[in-house]
Amino acid sequence: MDNFKELKAPIQTLFTDIDDTLTTHGKLPAVAYEKLWQLYRSGIQVIPVTGRPAGWCEMIARLWPVRAVIGENGAFYFQYKNNKMQRVFAIDEDQRKRNQEQLKQIEKEIFAKVPRAGLASDQFTRLFDLAIDFCEDVPELKTDEIQQIVDIFKSHGAQAKVSSIHVNGWFGDYDKLSMCKNFYQTEFGEDLSQGLNRAAFIGDSPNDEPMFAFFENSVAVGNIQKFLPQLEYKPRYLVPKEGGEGFAAFADHLLDN
């Protein structure tokens, strides 16, 4: 991986993960939030791309200095524009309800087989996925326990992605990257592949791998190091600092170029 300072192209659109990329140890540091404002004022459009739930994304889209937010690993994007919240979903309401019924059965199986796992505290604000906590509010699970959770999701035909804190499972042919492409085409009027030299992504964990594979300007903060052996597709650039401090360092680099 190259040092992030080797990225010289002027960036107009920055897609960013939230947990452990914008945040540090579960908190949004002042320096990272200030950099969001500096990027906003400079004309660089920031789109958080997260596994976090619809309830969080409603607040982020409305209150943060961002163009939009993509949530629940690509299930939707929310955009607060002209004093109105715009919501675009990957699947329709009837299918969403059927999927939730299946996820409830998977939840029971996970807790029967991996009793140390927990239900993510933000699950009550989710619309599309099931988030299993393996270290945010529970003692950290072992690698084989996390893999068992992934395997249970997949045995039911669900998708499963491991973030830095949760295993997220869902039914549907979408992920972070597919909704980024949908957003870019809808809002900017061109295919994302045509704008890759003007866009970047920064993340930190295995569920960001589709983004690392697609983006020419793919970046990771320092805490990616523990996940690198698991990744087939690695980020091109590395910021040595971790979490929000790493994001701030990368933002400074973009603002200087």
CATH code at position 237: 3.40.50.1000
Hey, which bits of 60-106 come out as E strands?
A: 69-71, 76-81, 84-89
* CA distance linking residue 181 with residue 152, whole number of Å: 29
Reduced to 3 states (helix: H, G, I; strand: E, B; else coil), residue 70 is strand
Domain count, the chain: 2
Residue 134: per-residue pLDDT: 98
* CA distance linking residue 76 with residue 87, whole number of Å: 7
- Residue recorded with tokens 């893999």: 147
Q: Is residue 2 domain-resident?
A: no
Q: What DSSP designation does 142 have?
A: P
Please identify, among 121, 136, 170, the residue that sits at the C-terminal boundary of a domain. Answer: 170
Q: What DSSP designation does 135 have?
A: S
Q: Is residue 119 domain-resident?
A: yes
Residues 42 and 102 in one domain: no
Please identify, among 170, 195, 229, the residue that sits at the C-terminal boundary of a domain. Answer: 170
To the nearest 10°, report the CA torsion of 245, 249, 255, 257: -170
Q: Could you read off the pLDDT tens digit of each residue along the chain, which spans 257 residues? A: 999 999 998 999 999 999 999 999 999 999 999 999 999 999 999 999 999 999 999 999 999 999 999 999 999 999 999 999 999 999 999 999 999 999 999 999 999 999 999 999 999 999 999 999 999 999 999 999 999 999 999 999 999 999 999 999 999 999 999 999 999 999 999 999 999 999 999 999 998 999 999 999 999 999 999 999 989 999 999 999 999 999 999 999 999 98
Residue 77: per-residue pLDDT: 98
Residues 57 and 120 in one domain: no
Residues 64 and 190 in one domain: yes
Query: CATH number of the domain that 105 lies in?
Result: 3.90.1070
Among left, alpha and beta (phi > 0; psi -120 to 50; other), residue 189 is left
CA distances from 20 to 65, 90, 152 (A): 19, 25, 26
Residues 150 and 208 in one domain: no
Which range marks the domain in which residue 53 is found?
A: 7-90+174-256
Structure tokens at 247: 């994001």
Residues 216 and 165 in one domain: no
Residues 31 and 74 in one domain: yes
Please identify, among 170, 204, 228, the residue that sits at the C-terminal boundary of a domain. Answer: 170
Residues 123 and 197 in one domain: no
Residue 9: per-residue pLDDT: 83
Residue 41: per-residue pLDDT: 98
Residue 257: per-residue pLDDT: 85
Q: Is residue 1 domain-resident?
A: no
* CA distance linking residue 45 with residue 67, whole number of Å: 6
Q: Is residue 203 domain-resident?
A: yes
Q: Is residue 17 domain-resident?
A: yes
Residues 125 and 64 in one domain: no
- Residue recorded with tokens 């990744």: 231
Q: Is residue 187 domain-resident?
A: yes
β-pairing verdict for 2-3 and 159-162 = unpaired
Residues 225 and 238 in one domain: yes
Residues 134 and 197 in one domain: no
Residues 130 and 104 in one domain: yes
Structure tokens at 24: 């540090």
R_g (Cα) of the chain, nearest Å: 17
